[in-house]
């Protein structure tokens, strides 16, 4: 006789429900990619801590991919799974092997700490174009000249002399266009310490079409904005020099090259310039590095003084300050990049954090909450900032800081357009036009 659900113990029923929720979550995540197993291979990257604590979710992803790739002989080998060592900090490099495998394909990163801002992720999003200086160095090298002279290259000795060690602008543009067309599309999930809730409650329940409508409105509102002024009753008073062209959008669309999204979805963000970004930021919400809301609740908010895009002073709760500084220092460099601005973002998801205890209010979901703002310091390569350019941040941490979740911390954001006109974007936690 087959036992009905009412005949099962509460523990068994809960386990069955969790498995079904994770199965649906796995399906929804893979659906975001518009995955075509007969034409491409999906890469799954996870770490040892996820496999130890949350293996059931990885198994759900595998089962979903097995089902999709077993239906057509042409889809054989349609996915790969790699388990890498866990890291205590975000933006830790994924490694050369994984970096090479990430190029020109859909990639799902499921890690215990966020790796969406790792150097390999930035490279995969930008495309695998070799820097112009490197190309020109190769063209002018004795080794390449010898290769040409022996007929092992398509370039003739005469053409090489004409180039004089330089690549024509037209050729370089073609390479950049090719790289753009082969960029990866990536989803990153940070599991943290609430393995089921982040995938079965709260933000994941928001209607995707609604999120896309809000995201489209924000894009139109922000396309000609050059500065934002952020204030709260708690004391935040911060001007940021924003660059909407260095933008990330999380709306569930990952069907085109060069798209990156955390999961659950629900935010618009961009990378600020450092020069002209100054003021005071009061952080009363969760931060990266597993500094969840309950830790901030125990003491005073963090008070950060920012000058030209760099945090020059940290004040506030002893425990939160100690954890925050230790986390940033773990991925800092000689340029002090861990303390330099990386991101300005706004949440678009009304159901984020719904029915969850405050100890589960982490930055990865808190930053999605409708009407909130998040500011991040650390790595910013995934926004399109390229090495060697002003404002590129090469820290190996990325720390999001959420404001606007608590009474008195409601955010007001005023935006300045390129023509000097101003408009209210958010007023005391209430978005005005999205």
- Of 181, 173, 191, nearest to 362 by C-alpha is 191
Tell me the mean pLDDT per 10 residues along the chain, length 434: 53 74 87 91 95 90 94 87 92 92 93 88 79 70 77 73 73 70 88 64 87 93 97 97 93 87 92 98 95 92 97 93 96 96 97 92 94 97 88 95 94 97 97 94
- The partner residues of 346 in beta bridges, in order of sequence, read 268, 373
Cis peptide before 143 (omega within 30 of 0): no
Q: Count CB-CB contacts under 10 A for residue 207.
A: 12
The pLDDT value recorded for residue 352 is 95
Note whether 36 and 24 are within 8 A (CB). no
Burial 174-186 (b: 16+ CB within 10 A, else e): ebeeebeebbbbb
Which two structure tokens, joined as six digits, stand for 208? 């995707």
Domain residue ranges of the chain, discontinuous segments joined by +: 5-127, 132-181, 204-431
pTM: 0.76
Distance CA 122, CA 40 (A): 21
Distance CA 314, CA 166 (A): 48
Residue 220's Cβ-side half-sphere holds a number of Cα atoms within 13 Å equal to 8
The pLDDT value recorded for residue 423 is 97
The pLDDT value recorded for residue 125 is 87
| Residue 88, C-beta contacts closer than 8 angstroms, at least 6 positions apart | 113, 330
- Of 318, 288, 278, 279, nearest to 302 by C-alpha is 318
Q: Count CB-CB contacts under 10 A for residue 162.
A: 11
Task: Give the chain as a 3 state SS string.
Answer: CCCCHHHCCHHHHHHHHHHHHHHHHHHHHHHHCCCCCCCCCEEEEEEHHHHHHCHHHHHHHHHHHHHHHCCCHHHCCCEEEEEECCCCCCCCCCCHHHHHHCCCCEEEEEECCCCCCCHHHHHHHHCCCCCHHHHHHHHCCHHHHHHHHCCCCCCCHHHHHHHCCCCCHHHHHHHHHHHHHCCCEEEEEECCCCCCHHHHCHHHHCCHHHHHHHHHHHHHHHCCEEEEEEECCCCCEEEEEEEEEEEEEECCCCCCCCCEEEECCCEEEEEEEEEEEEEEEEECCCECCCECHHHHHCCCCEEEEEECCEEEEEECCHHHHHHHHHHHHCCCCCCCHHHEEEEEEEECECCCCCCCCHHHCCHHHHCCEECCEEEEEECCHHHCCCCCCCCCCCCCCEEEEEECCCCCCCCEEEEEECCCCEEEEEECCEECCC
């Amino acid at each position: 006789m087959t036992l009905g659900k009412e005949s099962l113990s509460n523990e068994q029923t809960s386990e069955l429900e969790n498995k079904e929720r994770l199965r649906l979550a796995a399906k929804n995540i893979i659906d975001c990619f518009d995955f075509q197993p007969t034409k491409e291979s999906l890469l799954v990257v996870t770490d040892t801590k996820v496999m130890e604590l949350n293996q059931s979710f990885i198994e759900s992803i595998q089962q979903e991919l097995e089902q999709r790739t077993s239906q057509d002989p042409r889809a054989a080998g349609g996915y790969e799974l790699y388990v890498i060592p866990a890291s205590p900090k975000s933006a830790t490099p994924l490694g050369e092997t994984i970096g090479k495998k990430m190029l020109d394909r859909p990639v799902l990163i499921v890690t215990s700490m966020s790796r969406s801002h790792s150097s390999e992720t930035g490279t995969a999003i930008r495309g695998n174009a070799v820097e112009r200086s490197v190309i020109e160095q190769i063209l002018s090298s004795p080794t390449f000249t010898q290769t040409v002279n022996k007929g092992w290259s398509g370039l003739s000795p005469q053409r090489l002399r004409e180039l004089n060690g330089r690549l024509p602008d037209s050729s370089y543009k073609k390479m950049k266009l090719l790289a753009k067309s082969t960029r990866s599309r990536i989803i990153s999930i940070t599991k943290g310490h609430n393995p089921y809730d982040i995938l079965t409650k709260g933000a994941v329940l928001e209607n995707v079409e609604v999120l896309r409508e809000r995201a489209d409105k924000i894009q139109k509102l922000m396309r000609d904005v050059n500065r934002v002024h952020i204030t709260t009753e708690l004391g935040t008073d911060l001007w940021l020099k924003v660059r909407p062209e260095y933008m990330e959008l999380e709306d569930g669309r990952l069907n085109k090259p060069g798209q990156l999204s955390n999961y659950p979805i629900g935010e618009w963000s961009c990378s600020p310039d450092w020069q002209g970004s100054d003021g005071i930021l009061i952080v009363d919400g969760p931060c990266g590095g597993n500094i969840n809301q309950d830790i901030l609740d125990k003491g005073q908010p963090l008070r950060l003084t920012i000058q030209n895009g760099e945090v020059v002073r940290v004040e506030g709760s002893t425990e939160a300050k100690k954890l925050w500084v230790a986390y940033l220092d773990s991925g800092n460099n000689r340029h002090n990049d861990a303390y330099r601005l990386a991101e300005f973002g706004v949440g678009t998801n009304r159901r984020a954090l719904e029915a969850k205890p405050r100890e589960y209010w982490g930055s990865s979901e808190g930053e999605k909450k409708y009407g909130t703002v998040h500011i991040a310091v650390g790595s910013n390569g995934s926004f399109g900032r390229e090495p060697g350019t002003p404002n590129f941040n090469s820290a190996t941490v990325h720390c999001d800081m959420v404001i606007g979740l608590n009474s008195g911390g409601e955010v007001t954001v005023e935006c300045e357009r390129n023509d000097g006109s101003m408009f209210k974007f958010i007023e005391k936690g209430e978005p005005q036009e999205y």
